[in-house]
């Protein structure tokens, strides 16, 4: 059984096909990087995968639960950190974590224990009882991440991580994700930061104009590149998303 299974997944917004017939299986214990230029369809895929959007066609299975048929079972296994976390500014950090835990029906003593651990890991103890609206951008991001981890999800989905995080916090998050993957959880993250993808991910998928144009580990992606062997992920990414054509245009700009 795969952690995440996407079958012929398609999402149309009117005449625009944001995600086109996507097929992908991601295993437990795997860190999967989802790369693509702005507007490629990353966030739409993540929203479909986590049940925030209904597909135009195709299916999503989370640990074998179809997200349309068994939404509660499927969603209870997911911890989602969206690109724009919609956190409740009028709650304190501690209240927010308790709220998130109660949504996922985590027992209260577990919530209290995990809240203390997460606040410590993210260095938010001194702010725990202040309103989230007084937090800095990075602190808000950290409490959103903590909120997504409170129910110990088997699948962590992260849309564009590490924006606005200081190096220590970014490192904490990387360490958490790596540790969770080693413990058997599945990590799915979309990112613009190619270096993070290259260093952290077991496999990488590249999406462009709604189409999944490449999937594989770094070695396999290198073989898909016409100039195989010599290039790093940035070169492969630019080549596969046709950015070279653009560089010709840039040169012709007067
Ligand atoms: N709610 C929406 N209504 C119409 N078009 C949308 C909507 N959300 C996203 N799109 C379009 O779908 C495409 C994919 O967007 P998105 O999944 O957000 O890309 P990414 O996260 O890769 O930057 C873009 O062309 C975007 O403009
Ligand atoms: Mg996005």
pLDDT tens-digit series, residues 18-48: 999 999 999 999 999 999 988 999 999 999 9
Which segment of 18-27, 51-60, 148-157, 194-203 scores lowest on mean pLDDT?
A: 194-203
Give the range of the structural domain holding residue 115, as residue numbers without chain letter: 4-216
Tell me which ligand sits closest to the C-alpha of residue 20: 1
pLDDT of residue 230 exceeding 60, the answer is no
**Number of domains making up the chain:** 1
In a domain, 221, yes or no: no
Query: Measured from the CA of 36, which atom of ligand 1 is nearest?
Result: 22
Decide: 43 in ligand 1 pocket, CB within 6 A: yes
How remote is the CA of residue 164 from the centroid of ligand 1, in Å?
Answer: 22
Query: Measured from the CA of 40, which atom of ligand 1 is nearest?
Result: 22
Using a cut of 0.85, tell me whether the model's pTM lies above it.
yes
Which helix (H) or strand (E) segment holds residue 173: the answer is helix 167-182
pLDDT of residue 188 exceeding 80, the answer is yes
Residues 6+ apart with CB under 8 A from 169: 122, 123, 138, 141, 142
In a domain, 235, yes or no: no
In a domain, 181, yes or no: yes
Neighbours of ion ligand 2 (CB under 5 A): 42-43
Q: For 37, how many CA atoms within 13 A lie in the half-sphere containing its CB?
A: 12
In a domain, 229, yes or no: no
In a domain, 157, yes or no: yes
pLDDT digits (tens, 9 = 90+) for 193-217: 777 788 889 999 999 999 999 999 9
More confidently predicted of 179 and 221: 179
In a domain, 241, yes or no: no
* Closest C-alpha to 132, from 96, 100, 175: 96
CATH code at position 125: 3.40.50.300
Question: Are 50 and 25 spatial neighbours (Cβ–Cβ below 8 Å)?
Answer: no
In a domain, 250, yes or no: no
Q: How many whole angstroms separate alpha carbon 172 and alpha carbon 142?
A: 10
Sheet of 4-13: strand order equals 16-26, 4-13, 57-62, 65-66
In a domain, 161, yes or no: yes
Decide: 126 in ligand 1 pocket, CB within 6 A: no
Decide: 179 in ligand 1 pocket, CB within 6 A: no
């Amino acid at each position: 059984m795969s952690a995440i299974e996407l079958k012929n997944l398609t999402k149309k917004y009117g005449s625009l096909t944001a995600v086109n017939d996507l097929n992908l299986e991601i295993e437990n214990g795997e860190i999967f990087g989802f790369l693509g230029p702005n507007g490629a369809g990353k966030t739409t895929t993540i929203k479909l995968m986590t049940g925030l959007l209904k597909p135009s066609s195709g299916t999503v299975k989370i640990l074998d639960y179809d997200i349309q048929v068994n939404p509660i079972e499927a969603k209870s296994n997911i911890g989602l950190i969206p690109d724009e976390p919609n956190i409740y500014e009028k709650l304190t950090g501690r209240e927010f974590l308790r709220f998130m835990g109660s949504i996922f029906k985590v027992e209260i003593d577990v919530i209290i224990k995990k809240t203390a651990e997460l606040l410590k890991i993210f260095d938010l103890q001194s702010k725990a009882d202040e309103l989230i609206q007084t937090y800095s951008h990075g602190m808000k991001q950290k409490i959103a991440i903590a909120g997504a981890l409170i129910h110990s999800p088997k699948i962590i989905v992260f849309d564009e991580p590490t924006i606005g995080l200081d190096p220590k916090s970014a490192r904490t998050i990387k360490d958490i994700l790596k540790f969770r993957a080693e413990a058997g959880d599945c990590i799915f993250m979309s990112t613009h930061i190619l270096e993070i993808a290259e260093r952290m991910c077991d496999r990488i998928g590249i999406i462009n104009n709604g189409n999944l144009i490449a999937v594989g580990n770094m070695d396999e992606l290198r073989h898909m590149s016409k100039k195989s062997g010599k290039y790093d992920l940035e070169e492969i990414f630019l080549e596969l998303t046709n950015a070279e054509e653009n560089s010709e245009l840039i040169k012709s700009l007067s």
